């Protein structure tokens, strides 16, 4: 689960049961319309800024997703994992474009 806070007022907004396993990484898109989260089981989920879960890729990685990063255009993002891979994703299609291994 994760807790959403209002950064201006420091007030609690909501708690969401977001993943079946502990969340290890999250990133906001540059346009602030999307959030992507990654968990210990290798899943990646897309969230709209109103916290609706839109897409999930439960087999994105074989191990924990440690970090996520959007490109400036928000068209792609990268994920890195304890499975020693870095993956490049097409954001709109939620599809892996490339996998770099051995890291």
- Written as tens digits, the pLDDT of the chain (103 aa) is 667 777 788 888 777 777 889 999 999 999 999 999 999 999 999 999 887 777 888 889 999 999 999 999 999 999 999 999 999 999 999 899 999 998 6
Return the pLDDT at 101. 93
The reported pLDDT for the residue numbered 102 is 81
CA distance 8 to 15: 18
- Alpha helix stretches (DSSP H) within the chain: none
- What is this structure's pTM? 0.85
pLDDT given at position 64: 97
Structure confidence at residue 14 (pLDDT): 74
Residue 41 Cα distances to 48, 57, 63, angstroms = 22, 11, 6
């Amino acid at each position: 689960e994760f807790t959403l806070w209002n950064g201006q007022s420091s007030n609690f907004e909501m708690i969401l049961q977001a993943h079946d396993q502990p969340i290890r990484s999250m990133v906001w898109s540059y346009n602030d319309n999307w959030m992507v989260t990654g968990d210990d089981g290798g899943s990646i989920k897309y969230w709209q800024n109103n916290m609706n879960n839109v897409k999930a890729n439960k087999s994105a990685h074989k191990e924990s997703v440690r970090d996520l990063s959007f490109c400036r255009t928000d068209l792609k993002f990268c994920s890195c994992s304890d499975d020693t891979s870095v993956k490049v994703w097409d954001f709109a299609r939620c599809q892996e474009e490339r996998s770099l291994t051995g890291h």
